[in-house]
């Protein structure tokens, strides 16, 4: 049985501009011990997908319109709020982009960590304190014992993100959702944090959902990838397969628009135009206006979600052709 | 091949120190010497707090330098009076990182792009309007947008408006301060291509500041690496990536994730311990010694100078020298740069 199964999830927002279908019919599975990457540009729905999974969508203006989020056999969307709170933090933990806004600036680091295990594991304060120190050591905070009594502002950005990870992992969750965990960090610190997440994952067997806009991070960290665009899954595959043999013109364009440090510099491939306004989507494929191989049918009809291999799907009228081109290019 | 180019902007021992009071001084830029050649894109890369944006601003005197000189076509900008400086500034422009914060929300696109024309008395009335329309088209925006306000545009479009504004006065030199960092991947490629196209068409020179090494590699002819207020390595863009000499540059490049799972699976990273030290109390000697895997005791004392280790390849490390350029080949404990 999968650890997590998301079926046909739809989360809509009522805005002044009209109904925004931020997430519109997303389905995926996550096995134990695996890492799933969700990539997409701003507004693609990647963060809303994950906020929906843990029921943190603010209602109104948002609403989970339909779908199932089955975690260990139980549909989280049907649980009473109290039961969801018990899962959140205990079984499913989260880390966000900006550790400063996720930590309480008025509370000592140790206290914030202790709250987690006191609440979820019933630790006494002495147990919780020792556990907090152990967690800070695990995530590589030097001099963890004296520094546990610091306040968040006394830590650097990288150290704060380590504290967030310590907090997220302190109850040994089965699923860790990391939403752009290194986007605010410098590249040498990013490398440290990603290495830490990898190591802790190996040790604890936690499954991870990693949300990022950085294809490099996805390449190094994940087993499976989902590419989102305008609230839809555009492509879904094992990571190596997706990078080697993309079956969707959007994925292909994204991969080509990242500068390759080993290549000579010349004109960089660019996807033309702008991401669509999700409040006013036209009937056809939402990428059609920017797609170099779009044909008339793309503007008229919404594309099918084509199975390229049992593990690889692409939302495109020409998915098989695009996939064949990738395969041929690889063979050549 | 590159032909010999004239120096357009010469930076000499430039310093920007911020006094925080209580004897605490941030040496944001601490003795930078650098030539920017006409027609090139010089990439300036470094982590947050290294002083790269302050350096860019100080070159244009948007931040007053504490010491040193900046020559633009042999004119010392620091010595110019207010009026003369304004006159020269026409040739020197800047594009900012945050396209949301750098445009006045109460002005129309036409007013934003047209304002420099008025300030420098380059055009007015019909002529100015026509010029604004041309500028919008140059940066890939429809001239119909002229009466619209910034909030009606996406991040990438706003960045184009900022670029049009910088181009209005027909500058020679543009400081592009993290111009793509706030943009989505697909839009980053568009802006990089636009800047490159404009450089070719208008013979511009860029100081391109970024923390994104992939972007820097793509747009730059030469790259300067900055760490805690000092330049630590300069070389042409390809060399910096293929054969970095400074231990810091090596670590920086090895930390960049490559969008290729096959490569990522087998890649050996140089992991740096710890954080970038605070610029308020930077380490003594070589500022990188606290994180450097190759540091020896002398590194804590001697401030390394930028030395031409290989032709046109400068590095600031006492543990290498022109005779022994690769730190891996240097005997343990030796500091050939001191000989």
For the segment B187-216, the average pLDDT, to the nearest whole number, is: 93
Residues of chain B above pLDDT 90, percent: 69
Residue B337 above 80 pLDDT?
Answer: yes
Residue A78 buriedness (CB in 10 A; 0-12 / 13-18 / 19+):
exposed
Percent of chain B with pLDDT over 70: 99
Structure tokens at A179: 């939403």
For residue A264, the model assigns a pLDDT of 65
Question: At residue B197, does pLDDT exceed 90?
Answer: yes
Helices B109-119 and B125-138, interaxial angle, to 10°? Answer: 120
Per-residue pLDDT at A332: 57
**What b/e string do you get for B222-241 counting C-beta neighbours within 10 Å, with b at 16 or more?**
bbbbbbbbbbbbbbbbbbbb
Residue B313 burial (CB < 10 Å; 0-12/13-18/19+)? Answer: buried
- Report the greatest alpha carbon distance in chain A: 68
Q: Strand B222-227 vs strand B41-45: parallel, antiparallel, or unpaired?
A: parallel
Tokens of B81: 């009076």
Q: Which residues pair with B29 in a beta bridge?
A: B16
- B2 CB-side CA count, 13 A: 13
Q: List the single best residue of A259, A262, A263, A279 to mutate versus B (max B Cβ within 10 A).
A: A259
Q: Which tens digit of pLDDT belongs to each residue from A71-81?
A: 999 999 999 99
Three-state SS at B74: coil
Residue B153 to residue B136: CA distance in whole angstroms: 13
Contacts of B265 in chain A (CB under 8 A): 220
Strand pairing class (A224-229; A232-238):
antiparallel
Q: Which residues contact B145 (CB under 8 A, 6 or more apart)?
A: B109, B136, B153
User: Cα separation of A2 and A69, whole Å?
Assistant: 11
Predicted ipTM? 0.84
What confidence tier does B273 reach under pLDDT thresholds 50, 70, 90?
A: confident
Judged by a CB distance cut-off of 8 A, whether residue A267 touches chain B is yes
Nearest CA in chain B to A274: B187
CA distance A46 to A260: 25
pLDDT of residue A11: 96
Please report where in the chains the tokens 């609230």 appear, as a residue. A231
Cα-flanking dihedrals φ and ψ of residue A64, to 5°?
A: -80, 110
**Residue of chain A nearest B184, judged by CA positions:** A41
Query: In 3-state terms, what secondary structure has residue B8?
Result: strand
pLDDT of residue A268: 86
Q: How far is A172 from chain B (nearest CA, A)?
A: 26
User: What local confidence, expressed as pLDDT, does residue B1 receive?
Assistant: 43
Please report which helix (H) or strand (E) contains residue A190, including its range: helix A187-204
The b/e string for A292-305 (b: 16+ C-beta within 10 A; e otherwise) is eebeeebeeeebeb
Distance from CA of B17 to the nearest CA of A (A): 22
Residue among A187, A239, A257 whose CB faces B256 most closely? A187
- Sorting pLDDT into bands at 50, 70 and 90, what band is B3? low
Is residue A205 a contact partner of residue A33, using CB atoms and an 8 Å limit? yes
Cis, bond preceding A61 (omega within 30 deg of 0) = yes
Round the average pLDDT of chain B to a whole number and report it: 91
Stretch 146-205 of chain A: residues touching chain B, C-beta under 8 Å: 156, 158-159, 186-192, 194-195
Instruction: Name the token pair of A50.
Output: 């994950």
Distance between CA atoms of residues B47 and A303, nearest Å? 43
d(CA B7, CA B276): 32
Q: Does B152 touch chain A (CB under 8 A)?
A: no
Average pLDDT estimate for B41-55? 92
| Lookup result for tokens 């543009």 | B174
Q: Which site among A46, A261, A271, A291 would you substitute to test the B interface, given the most B Cβ atoms closer than 10 Å to its Cβ?
A: A261
pLDDT at B4: 65
With a cut of 50, which residues of chain A have pLDDT below it? Answer: none
CA dist B136 → A63, B113, B164 (Å):
40, 8, 6
Instruction: Give Cα B248 distance to the centre of its chain.
Output: 17
CA B107 and chain centroid, separation? 29
pLDDT tens for residues A274-295? Answer: 888 888 888 999 999 999 999 9
């Amino acid at each position: 049985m999968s650890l997590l199964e998301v079926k046909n999830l739809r989360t809509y927002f009522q805005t002044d501009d009209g109904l925004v279908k931020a997430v519109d019919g997303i389905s995926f599975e996550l096995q134990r011990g695996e890492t799933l990457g969700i990539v997409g540009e701003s507004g693609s729905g990647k963060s809303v997908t994950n906020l929906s999974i843990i029921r943190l969508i603010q209602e109104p203006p948002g609403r989970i319109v339909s779908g199932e989020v089955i975690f260990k056999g139980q549909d989280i969307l049907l649980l009473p709020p109290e039961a969801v709170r018990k899962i959140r933090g205990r079984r499913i933990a989260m880390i966000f982009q900006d550790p400063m806004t996720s930590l309480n600036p008025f509370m000592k680091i140790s206290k914030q960590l202790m709250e987690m295990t006191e609440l979820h594991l019933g630790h006494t304060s002495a147990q919780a304190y020792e556990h907090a120190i152990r967690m800070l050591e695990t995530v590589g905070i030097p001099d963890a014992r004296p520094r546990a009594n610091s306040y968040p502002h006394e830590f650097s950005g990288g150290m704060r993100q380590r504290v967030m990870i310590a907090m997220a992992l302190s109850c040994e969750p089965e699923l860790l959702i990391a939403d752009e965990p290194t986007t605010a960090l410098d590249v040498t610190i990013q490398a440290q944090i990603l290495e830490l997440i990898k190591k802790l994952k190996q040790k604890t067997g936690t499954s991870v959902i990693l949300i990022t806009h950085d294809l490099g991070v996805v390449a190094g960290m994940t087993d499976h990838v989902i590419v989102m665009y305008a609230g839809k899954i555009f492509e879904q595959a094992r990571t190596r397969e997706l990078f080697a043999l993309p079956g969707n013109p959007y994925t292909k364009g994204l991969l080509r628009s990242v500068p390759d440090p080993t290549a000579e510099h010349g004109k960089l491939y660019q996807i033309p135009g702008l991401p669509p306004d999700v409040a006013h989507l036209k009937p056809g494929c939402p990428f059609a206006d920017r797609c170099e191989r779009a044909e008339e049918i793309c503007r008229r009809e919404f594309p099918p979600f084509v199975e390229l291999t049992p593990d690889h799907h692409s939302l495109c009228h020409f998915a098989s052709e695009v996939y064949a081109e990738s395969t041929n290019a690889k063979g050549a | 091949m590159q032909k010999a180019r004239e120096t357009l902007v010469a930076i000499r021992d430039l310093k920007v120190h911020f006094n925080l009071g209580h004897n605490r001084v941030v040496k944001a830029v601490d003795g930078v010497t650098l030539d920017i050649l006409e027609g090139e894109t010089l990439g300036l890369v470094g982590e947050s707090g290294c002083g790269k944006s302050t350096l860019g601003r100080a070159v244009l005197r948007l931040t007053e330098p504490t010491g040193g000189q900046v020559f633009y076509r042999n004119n010392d900008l620091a010595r110019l009076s207010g009026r003369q400086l304004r006159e020269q500034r026409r040739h020197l422009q800047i594009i900012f990182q945050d396209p949301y914060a750098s445009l006045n929300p109460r002005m129309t696109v036409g007013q934003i792009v047209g304002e420099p024309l008025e300030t420098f008395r380059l055009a007015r009335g019909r002529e100015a309007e026509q010029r604004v329309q041309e500028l919008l088209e140059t940066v890939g925006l429809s001239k119909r947008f002229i009466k619209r306000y910034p909030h009606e545009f996406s991040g990438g479009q706003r960045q184009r408006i900022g670029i049009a504004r910088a181009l209005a006065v027909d500058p020679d030199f543009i400081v592009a301060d993290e111009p793509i960092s706030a943009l989505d991947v697909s839009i980053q490629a568009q802006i990089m291509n636009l800047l490159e196209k404009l450089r070719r068409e208008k013979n511009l020179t860029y100081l391109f500041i970024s923390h994104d090494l992939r972007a820097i590699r793509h747009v730059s002819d030469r790259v300067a690496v900055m760490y805690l207020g000092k330049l630590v390595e300069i070389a042409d863009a390809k060399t910096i990536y293929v054969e970095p000499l400074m231990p810091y540059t090596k670590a920086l490049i090895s930390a960049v994730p490559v969008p290729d799972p096959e490569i990522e699976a087998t890649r050996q990273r140089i992991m740096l311990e710890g954080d970038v030290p605070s610029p308020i109390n930077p380490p003594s000697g070589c500022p990188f010694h606290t994180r450097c895997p190759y540091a020896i005791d002398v590194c804590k004392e001697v401030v390394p100078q930028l030395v031409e280790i290989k032709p046109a390849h400068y590095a600031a490390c006492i543990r290498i020298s022109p005779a022994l350029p690769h730190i891996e080949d240097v005997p343990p404990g030796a500091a050939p740069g001191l000989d």
